[in-house]
Amino acid sequence: MAKRTRSAALLPPVRRNDRPLFFVVAIIVALACMSGVAARAAWSASSAWTSDLSGAMTVEVRPRAGDDPSELARRAAEAVARTPGVAAATAMTRAEQEDLLAPWFGAEGLPADVPLPGVVDVRLERLAPATADEIAAALAAAGLDARVDDHGRWTRDLKRAAVAVRALAFGALLMLAGAAVAVTGFATRASLAARADVVEVLHLVGARDEFIAKAFTGRFIGLGVRAGILGAFLAALAAAGFWAVSGGLAPVEDNFLPRFSFAPADVIILASAPLVSAFVAAMTARETVLKELRRTY
């Protein structure tokens, strides 16, 4: 004979009916985890980019007729390097510039007679960086006609894009939470209807609404935890797949796009998924049952 628990469950198990809910919640959790991880990745990528970009400036010296751009760049680099707040200033050679332009002009490089401006790559001090105006003043003092690009347009765009991605992810999380609440509420009402006779007996022998709700909540906590674990696992698989496809453990090259990688925050997102889904499922079930019961006499 089967071992008896001290107090048998007051609701008959109807596993067959709970299964679709289990999979739907698992899928919702997987999507929520994926958008969480994607938002996290976009955010760290954008901060990596912006800190790269905001720690550097580019100076472009316009050559006047007859000037040698490389010579102008060398003089500009000297002038900028003396400015306080600049860590290093390097004049780019024509060869280096041609390297950078290669993706647009092909391997043969530029025709020799195409003029290129003198370009200086400026690295700023971390703690007290020079401003674009200070560098421009130093260049003007050296008698150079130069334009300073502080990459501000790029960093602003990137920051805006990162904020947009985060807002999107947050919106997706809200919608997914709404879907989870709706589907759990629906399933709870179905579950309540399937056990209406039992619920009525409990009600008539003097059970409080909270007592009846608890019988349902317990079941939905278990379902939420199990579906949350499966969902987080699916999301982790998807993220690992994405990571492998986007380069995985291949040797790091100097790519324009930083590679997707796992972060400690991802572990927190994935690990909290079962807890959050159990909480959402249990609370929804509880509120739904209480609301339905209040409609009875």
Partner 1 sequence: MVRLENVGLRYGRGPEILRDLTLKLEPGSFHFLTGPSGAGKTSLLRLLYLAHPPTRGLISLFGEDVTGAARRRKVDLRRKVGVVFQEFRLLDHVDVFENVSLPLRVAGRERWEYEEDVRELLTWVGLGERSHALPPTLSGGEKQRVAIARAVVGKPDILLADEPTGNVDPEMGRRLMRLFTELNRLGATVLIATHDPDLIRAVNAPALRLDDGQVTRLGKAAR
Nearer to partner 1 among residue 153 and residue 208 (C-beta):
208
Report, in Å, the least distance between residue 281 CB and partner 1: 23
**Minimum distance from CB of 198 to partner 1 (Å)?**
6
Give 10 or 179: the residue with its C-beta nearer to partner 1.
10
Q: What share of the chain is helix, strand, coil (3-state, %, to 5)?
A: 65, 10, 25
In angstroms, what is the minimal distance from the CB of 18 to partner 1? 15
Determine contact, residues 79/122, Cβ cutoff 8 Å: no
Would you count residue 3 as binding partner 1 (CB under 8 A)? no
Picking from 138, 8, 16, the residue whose alpha carbon sits closest to that of residue 86 is 138
Tokens of 283: 């609370």
Residues numbered 241-260 forming contacts with partner 1, rule: CB under 8 A: none
Pairing of strands 86-91, 118-124: antiparallel
Contact letters (x/-) for partner 1, 9-28, by CB under 8 A? xx-xx---------------
- Count CB-CB contacts under 10 A for residue 66: 5
Considering the complex, what minimum distance in angstroms separates the CB of residue 221 from partner 1?
20
CA dihedral 198, 201, 205, 208 (to 10 degrees): 60
> Which of helix, strand or coil describes residue 14?
coil
Residue 65: both structure tokens together: 């007729």
197-236 binders of partner 1 (CB under 8 A): 197-198, 200-202, 204-209, 211
Query: Shortest gap between Cβ of 12 and partner 1 (angstroms)?
Result: 4
Task: Report 265-294 residues binding partner 1 (CB under 8 A).
Answer: 294
CB atoms within 10 A of CB 285: 28
Binding segment toward partner 1, per CB under 8 A, in 185-193, 195-203, 224-232, 255-263:
195-203
User: Burial, 156: exposed, middle or buried (Cβ in 10 Å; 0-12, 13-18, 19+)?
Assistant: exposed
- Closest approach, Cβ 15 to partner 1, in A, equals 13
* Cβ 284 to partner 1 shortest distance, Å: 21
Question: What is residue 63's DSSP assignment?
Answer: P
Residue placing its CB nearer to partner 1 in the complex, 5 or 255: 5
Closer by beta carbon to partner 1, 7 or else 255: 7
| Selected range binding partner 1 among 1-9, 17-25, 150-158, 273-281, rule: CB under 8 A | 1-9
| Element housing 31 (H / E) | helix 15-54
> Is residue 6 close enough to count as binding partner 1 by CB under 8 A?
yes
* 7 makes contact with partner 1 (CB under 8 A): yes
How far is Cα 168 from Cα 146, in angstroms, rounded to an integer?
40
Collapsing DSSP to helix, strand or coil, 85 comes out as coil
* Binding positions for partner 1, rule: CB under 8 A: 1, 4, 6-10, 12-13, 197-198, 200-202, 204-209, 211, 294, 297
